[in-house]
């Protein structure tokens, strides 16, 4: 996929229409390969998109049901009602996604939504990934680092008008990487301040040896 992306960039001078980035790969296939293979590739793209689309629709519906409806609207909703609502939301999500992808004004930059989402997901690295290897991270330092990374990501995305995830003024650096560096810097600074103030988090799982001494 990376090689195909590079090829699409190389051929961007002949791509039509140039403003719709989601058509870069189909247009590349259409221009390079013979008609028989082109039809096969397009059919494979359609079939291949059904599986992840259905999984994401189910996941989105379940998230809305459990994290929004069950948490804030009806905390005592029975399982049958939750299942019924999830089925309705699956249909709503699919229709909304299909409508969004078919509107030229939205589909022109739809490919950037994934790279933008990746920029946001990267900001959870200290809290999720690093926490797998150590339990000494200060929660306030991690929280401040995450907030700094998220705010910086949003600001930089708005500065490029939400049409790309590369930041031109810094040499087209990926916004997620730059924000992650700032995120890690804030976490490191917070850890140093917490350590200096004696507020280092106590490692979890430590057992007081006195609890193992049998009582007489």
- Beta bridge pairs of residue 24: none
Q: Are residues 130 and 47 in the same domain?
A: no
Q: Are residues 116 and 103 in the same domain?
A: no
Looking at the predicted structure, is the pLDDT value of residue 214 above 60?
A: no
Instruction: Look at residue 77 in the predicted model and tell me its pLDDT.
Output: 87
**CB neighbour class for 15 (10 Å; exposed up to 12, middle 13-18, buried from 19):** buried
215 in a domain, yes or no? no
Q: Report the distance separating Cα 177 and Cα 183, nearest Å.
A: 10
Torsion sign (Cα): 132, 134, 135, 136: negative
Contact 205, 196 (CB under 8 A): no
Tell me the mean pLDDT in the region 76-98.
Answer: 89
- Model confidence pLDDT, tens digit, residues 142-169: 999 999 999 999 999 999 887 788 888 8
Instruction: Look at residue 152 in the predicted model and tell me its pLDDT.
Output: 95
Element (H, E) at 93: helix 79-102
pTM assigned to the model: 0.60
**C-alpha distances out from residue 201 to 22, 103, 126, 140, Å:** 47, 50, 15, 10
Pull the structure tokens for residue 215.
């009582």
- How far, rounded to the nearest angstrom, does the alpha carbon of residue 143 sit from its chain's CA centroid? 18
User: Which residue, of 92, 108, 124, is where some domain finishes?
Assistant: 108
Percent of the chain with pLDDT over 90: 28
Contacts of 94 (CB under 8 A, 6+ apart): 53, 57
- Model confidence pLDDT, tens digit, residues 182-208: 999 999 999 999 888 875 544 444 444
27 in a domain, yes or no? yes
Contact 106, 100 (CB under 8 A): yes
Average pLDDT of the residues of the chain: 81
216 in a domain, yes or no? no
Instruction: Look at residue 170 in the predicted model and tell me its pLDDT.
Output: 86
Instruction: Look at residue 212 in the predicted model and tell me its pLDDT.
Output: 47
Tell me the mean pLDDT in the region 132-138.
Answer: 83
Q: Report the distance separating Cα 146 and Cα 124, nearest Å.
A: 7
DSSP for residue 132: G
Q: Give how many domains the chain has, as a whole number.
A: 2
Residue 45, domain extent:
8-108
Tell me the mean pLDDT in the region 171-188.
Answer: 92
Q: Are residues 120 and 199 in the same domain?
A: yes
Percent of the chain with pLDDT over 70: 81
DSSP for residue 74: -
Instruction: Look at residue 123 in the predicted model and tell me its pLDDT.
Output: 93
Q: Are residues 84 and 154 in the same domain?
A: no
Among 46-60, 75-89, 157-171, 200-214, the range scoring the smallest mean pLDDT is 200-214
Contacts of 69 (CB under 8 A, 6+ apart): 77, 82, 85
Q: Are residues 169 and 125 in the same domain?
A: yes
């Amino acid at each position: 996929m990376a090689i195909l992306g590079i090829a699409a960039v190389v051929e961007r001078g002949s791509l039509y229409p140039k403003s719709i980035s989601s058509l870069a790969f189909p247009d590349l296939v259409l221009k390079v390969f013979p008609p028989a293979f082109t039809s096969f590739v397009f059919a494979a793209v359609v079939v291949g998109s059904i599986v992840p689309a259905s999984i994401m629709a189910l996941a989105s519906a379940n998230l809305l049901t459990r994290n929004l409806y069950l948490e804030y609207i009806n905390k005592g909703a029975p399982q049958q009602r939750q299942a019924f609502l999830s089925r309705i939301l699956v249909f709503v999500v699919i229709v909304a996604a299909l409508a969004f992808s078919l509107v030229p004004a939205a589909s022109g930059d739809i490919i950037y939504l994934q790279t933008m989402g990746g920029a946001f997901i990267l900001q959870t690295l200290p809290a999720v990934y690093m926490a797998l290897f150590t339990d000494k991270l200060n929660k306030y330092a991690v929280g401040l680092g995450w907030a700094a990374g998220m705010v910086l990501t949003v600001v930089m995305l708005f500065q490029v008008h939400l049409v790309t995830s590369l930041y031109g003024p810094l040499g087209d650096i990926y916004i997620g990487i730059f924000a992650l560096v700032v995120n890690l810097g804030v976490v490191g600074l917070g850890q140093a301040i917490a350590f200096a103030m004696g507020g280092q988090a106590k490692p979890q799982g430590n057992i007081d040896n006195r609890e193992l001494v049998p009582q007489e």
